[in-house]
Structure 1
Amino acid sequence: MIEKILPPWVASAEAFDDPPGVTLFPEEEVVIARAVDKRRREFTTARHCARLALDRIGLAPVPILPGERGAPGWPEGVVGAITHCAGYRAAAVSREALSVGIDAEPHEALPDGIIDSITLPEERDAMARLDSGVHWDRLLFSAKESVYKAWFPLARRWLGFEEARLAFSPSGTFTARFLVPGPVVSGRELTGFTGRWLVADGLVVTAIALPRATR
């Protein structure tokens, strides 16, 4: 599913359950040693997906350890992202991108009281005018998660929900405009991202892949 919204120069792998027999590297076992079963299963299957995706770009299995702010640590020359939610885990990697962000969420309304804390007034106004067949609040939350995952490796600093303004097209694309100074990429300040979204199989998935300037 996730591959439908990623460009061909980004490799991905996904799972809709937790396959038996998946093992972790010893370094990863240390990270997850005290985790509850749910967290262990998410972590293990997500790493399994990450290694499948790395294999698709010709790289051998390696430990994928959480780094700064929990961001996955990829092999040198690789960028990528991991996501997991109930019934879904996925990873996306690339040697031809500057940054990648993906996120998956259940396609259902956000819990009460969340929407105002993650959206701007103009975003709420825009969502009210969109097709009611999509849970736009959950989609917006997912897209902002993808924005942050693509932002952080470039900026190395936090980006709050209120610091990017998102707009969606029913055709399956979205734009994110930064409301704070963006990171400098290839000598120019980055002012935003474009991404894609998809609703299928009870899930909403979002993705951003920022190409290198030479593409």
Structure 2
Amino acid sequence: MVTKSLDCLISENRMYWPEEVVYATCDPQVTHAPLFPIEEAAITDAVEKRRREFTAGRSAAHAVQEKLGFPPTAIPMGEDRAPIWPARMVGSLSHTADACIAVGALSHHVRAVGIDVESLAPLESKLRSYIANHRELACMDSPPGLAALQIFSMKEAAYKAQYLLSQTFCDFDTLEVVPEGLRFRHSVPPFARGTILPIRQWVGFGLCLSLCLLKRPA
């Protein structure tokens, strides 16, 4: 079961998991509690695969709310298709075909968070140039196909985190891989050119998991 593999990956790296962030996982292949009406409305015309993934993601998000001390409430989908999180928390969702993960944190500790999970499979060579350049691939200690997948996952997590603050969609070349994380190649307000987004990434159990956490200043 992929969800179990995801839980094992996080558990094995628990010492590196940020204490401000809680998480929950769900299996899209099993039945979950009914959604809130406004959540259900977002997938009225969706195909079964999309319905399962959306429902599992929202179920995981409701579990995250409870872990943060809030009663589960609806998490609608905005016009930009991004989840609308309740006041006093920030969160992020990601899924493969067989596992969903939600993460959340209290907004007075964390400005934004982004999560991404991918099945650990090399990207085809024709896709790599869209994700990263040769210099970025060389920063990774993996063969090119897996390096491209890892960079894809890093950028997905970072884009989700920055979007919570910028409300701006970015291309894959907006951020570049550097030893410290991902660096903005140009200004995307409120982020200045050269701003570094820190990334944590774990690989194992057939998965690649990336987390971008933007804390509030102490």
TM over 0.5: yes
User: Is 2:166–2:189's contact at 8 Å kept on the other side of the alignment?
Assistant: yes
| Alignment match, 1:183 | 189
Measured against aligned partners, the alpha-carbon deviations of 1:13-46 in whole angstroms (never above 9, x if no partner) come to 0124533242111111111011111000000000
User: Is 2:137–2:147's contact at 8 Å kept on the other side of the alignment?
Assistant: no
For structure 2, the 5+ residue unaligned runs are 1-6
| Alignment match, 1:148 | 159
4+ residue segments displaced more than 6 Å: none
Distance 1:133 1:149 in 2: 24
User: Is 1:79–1:100's contact at 8 Å kept on the other side of the alignment?
Assistant: yes
| Alignment match, 2:168 | 157
Work out whether 1:99 is the aligned partner of 2:103.
Answer: no
Distance 1:106 1:146 in 2: 15
| Alignment match, 2:93 | 82
| Alignment match, 1:111 | 124
**How far apart are residue 86 of structure 1 and its match?**
2.0
Measured against aligned partners, the alpha-carbon deviations of 1:109-154 in whole angstroms (never above 9, x if no partner) come to 1134111111123113334xx2449922111111110010011011
Distance 2:139 2:194 in 1: 24
Query: Which residues in structure 2 correspond to 1:1-215 (within 5 Å)?
Result: 1=7, 2=10, 4=14, 6-95=17-106, 96-127=109-140, 130-132=141-143, 135-167=146-178, 175-184=181-190, 191-214=195-218
Tell me the number of residue pairs that the alignment of Structure 1 and Structure 2 aligns: 205
Distance 1:146 1:21 in 2: 26
If the length of structure 2 is used for normalisation, what is the TM-score? 0.86
Specify whether residues 133 and 203 from structure 1 end up closer, same or farther in structure 2 by C-alpha distance, changes over 3 A only.
farther
Which residue identity does 1:125 align to in structure 2? A
**How far apart are residue 195 of structure 1 and its match?**
1.3
Identity among equivalent pairs (%): 31
Report the structure, 1 or 2, having the larger strand content: 1
Specify whether residues 14 and 55 from structure 1 end up closer, same or farther in structure 2 by C-alpha distance, changes over 3 A only.
same
Measured against aligned partners, the alpha-carbon deviations of 1:52-93 in whole angstroms (never above 9, x if no partner) come to 011001111111111252221000121110001122100001
User: Is 1:105–1:142's contact at 8 Å kept on the other side of the alignment?
Assistant: yes
**How far apart are residue 155 of structure 1 and its match?**
1.0
Of 48-57 and 21-30, deviating more is 21-30
Of 189-198 and 140-149, deviating more is 189-198
User: Is 1:107–1:204's contact at 8 Å kept on the other side of the alignment?
Assistant: yes
